[in-house]
Amino acid sequence: MKLLGDFHIHGPYANACSKNTTLKLLEDNSKIKGLNIIGTGDCLHNRWFSSIKSELNEDENGVLWSKNKFPFLWTSEISLMYSHNNKGRRIHHVLLFPNREVVQQVTDLMLTRGRLDYDGRPIFGINSIEFVDMMRSVSHDIEIIPGHIWTSFFGLLGSKSGFDSVEECFEDRSKYIHALESGISSDPFMNRKISSLDKYNIVSFSDPHSSHPSRLGREATIFDCDLKYKSILNSIRTGEGLKGTIEASPEYGKYHIDGHRNCNIMMNYEESKKLNKICPVCKKEMTIGVEYRIEELADRKEPENVPYYIKILPLHELISAVYGVKQFTSKKVIDIYNILIKNFNTEYNILLEVPEEKLKTVIDEKLARVIILNRMNKLKINPGYDGVYGEIVLDDKEKFLKKNKSLGDF
């Protein structure tokens, strides 16, 4: 059974996340996107846990079902802040749980070490090694996946407080780590320049801070397995049934290259290396991005054993770029998006399957062409840096200028 899953999700109680998120919105927008299953996110938070328990029904296979029969898995993210080898570490891990009973047991255990009610993504001063032991003391079926591993902040291999290897972080407990989340600023091709990562499967999830379809499902993992927790778990752990990932173009990510947002400075790995990572404006160290870290740790000139993946940008990004509208939530963007969904069912179908000639029957040929260029990975993107998303760059002939017809004429 083919499943497209996004398991790094947030509810309304995580810091810097939308307070308007509901399970119903997550379900509705997942269907629009083309996802088949998602995580609950933030299930260790008492109020979100109560919502999950009251709105979703768990079956004997550890899958939660909405009233409309859409499936969820119990998931959360945790932030561990601690000192290791005389360096401060800040690491995020994605957690998958086999059932509600285990979630409750983990909640009770974590409450002996701190609070869970102030943030859907709770923060604990526990090192990753001890955390693995804590989770395994509850259930061997809890899966710990280091989240967005290359992100400058909170990534296991990130430049600010990460490690240089999975083994440095987990030591002998690394045998219990089976998969790594690539994160939006990297893709499997980049990850496979480092041979020590070959033993870990690559998964990709979107880490959306809202339920908006421009964020939800922008990255996902492709499974071919039964719709059961243990089947999905086995795919993540063994690679059997793990068919690949859907990835945003790495340049789109907020930490792809190096720079200083406040100084309006950005540069690639080679330029940054020449400057010893120092910003030419303020003379302080720049935020070093994913590209630099991968090149710094790479032991291969060319990647090997690269798993299958699809590289694509969200549809809202394409509409916004063509029509010069910055807000994804603007009426103009939403109207065009809804026309496409009405005619072609899901965003993944539009981005990956619908022929250009069919697209042109409902939208202007400029947007249709950009959708195809996106599918072919032929769009130019100014890369993201220091918390700023990358930006699509179109030629004048590919976008609407003021002298062109209005949006109401397409």
For residue 286, give both structure tokens.
Answer: 């720049």
Question: Any residues with CB less than 8 A from the CB of 54 and at least 6 apart, and which?
Answer: none
> Global pTM?
0.95
Q: How far is CA 126 from CA 88, 104, 356, in A?
A: 12, 19, 52
* DSSP code for 66: -
Give the model's pLDDT for residue 410.
33
Give the model's pLDDT for residue 409.
35
Burial 181-191 (b: 16+ CB within 10 A, else e): bbbbbbbbbbb
Give the model's pLDDT for residue 407.
39
Give all domains of the chain, ordered by start, each with its CATH number: 2-252 (3.20.20.140), 315-380+392-409 (no CATH)
* DSSP code for 308: P
Query: In tens digits, what is the pLDDT along the chain, a chain of 410 residues?
Result: 999 999 999 999 999 999 999 999 999 999 999 999 999 999 999 999 999 999 999 999 999 999 999 999 999 999 999 999 899 999 999 999 999 999 999 999 999 999 999 999 999 999 999 999 999 999 999 999 999 999 999 999 999 999 999 999 999 999 999 999 999 999 999 999 999 999 999 999 999 999 999 999 999 999 999 999 999 999 999 999 999 999 999 999 999 999 999 999 999 999 999 999 999 999 999 999 999 999 999 999 999 999 999 999 999 999 999 999 988 889 999 999 999 999 999 999 999 999 999 999 999 999 999 999 999 999 999 999 999 999 999 987 777 765 444 333 33
* Coil/strand/helix, residue 277: coil
Alpha helices in 239-355 (DSSP H): 269-274, 290-297, 315-323, 331-344, 347-352
Give the separation between CA 370 and CA 100, rounded to whole angstroms: 44
Give the separation between CA 292 and CA 204, rounded to whole angstroms: 20
Give the model's pLDDT for residue 401.
60
392 CB-contact burial (10 Å; exposed 0-12 / middle 13-18 / buried 19+): buried
Give the model's pLDDT for residue 396.
76
Question: Any residues with CB less than 8 A from the CB of 46 and at least 6 apart, and which?
Answer: 107, 116, 117
Give the model's pLDDT for residue 165.
98
Give the model's pLDDT for residue 408.
37
